[in-house]
Amino acid sequence: MTAQHNALPAQAIQAAQETFPANPKLYGVDVAKAELVLANGGQITTIANQSRAVKAWLSQLKAPALIAMESTSTYHQLLADLAFAAGHRVFVLNPKQLKHYRTATQGRAKTDLCDAQLIARYLAKEHADLHPYRPLTKEGGRLSSLLRRRAAVVKAMTQLRLSLQPQAEALELEVELKNALEALSQIIQSIDVQIEKLLAHAQHQPRAARLLSIVGVGPLNAAALLVALERGDFPDADAFVAFLGLDPTPRDSGQCRGRRRLSKHGDSESRRLLFNAARSASLTSVWKPIYERYRKRGLGDVQTLCIIARKIARTAWSICKHGTTFCPKRLTQALT
| Mean residue pLDDT across the chain | 87
Mean pLDDT is highest, among 125-134, 256-265, 274-283, for: 274-283
Mind giving me the DSSP string for 18-67? HS--SS--EEEEEE-SSEEEEEETTEEEEEESSHHHHHHHHHH-SS--EE
- What is the rounded CA–CA span in Å between residue 118 and residue 66? 15
Parallel, antiparallel, or unpaired: how do β-strands 248-249 and 256-257 relate?
A: unpaired
**Where does the pLDDT of residue 120 fall: very low under 50, low under 70, confident under 90, or very high at 90 and above?**
very high
Render pLDDT for 269-283 as a digit per residue (tens, 0 to 9).
999 999 999 999 999
Average pLDDT over residues 193-216: 93
**Where does the pLDDT of residue 2 fall: very low under 50, low under 70, confident under 90, or very high at 90 and above?**
very low
Over its C-alpha atoms, the chain yields an Rg (Å, rounded) of 23
pTM above 0.85, yes or no: no
| 3-state class (DSSP) for residue 89 | strand
Distances (CA, A) of 198 to 41, 123, 148, 185: 44, 36, 15, 20
Quick check: 299 pLDDT over 80? yes
- What is the rounded CA–CA span in Å between residue 311 and residue 221? 14
- What is the rounded CA–CA span in Å between residue 124 and residue 138? 32
Low-confidence winner among 50-54, 59-63, 181-185 (lowest mean pLDDT)? 59-63
Q: Read off φ and ψ for residue 40, nearest 5 degrees.
A: -135, 95
Distances (CA, A) of 29 to 72, 75, 192: 12, 12, 35
Are the C-beta atoms of 93 and 71 separated by less than 8 Å? yes
Cβ partners under 8 Å of residue 167, min gap 6: 173
Quick check: 1 pLDDT over 70? no
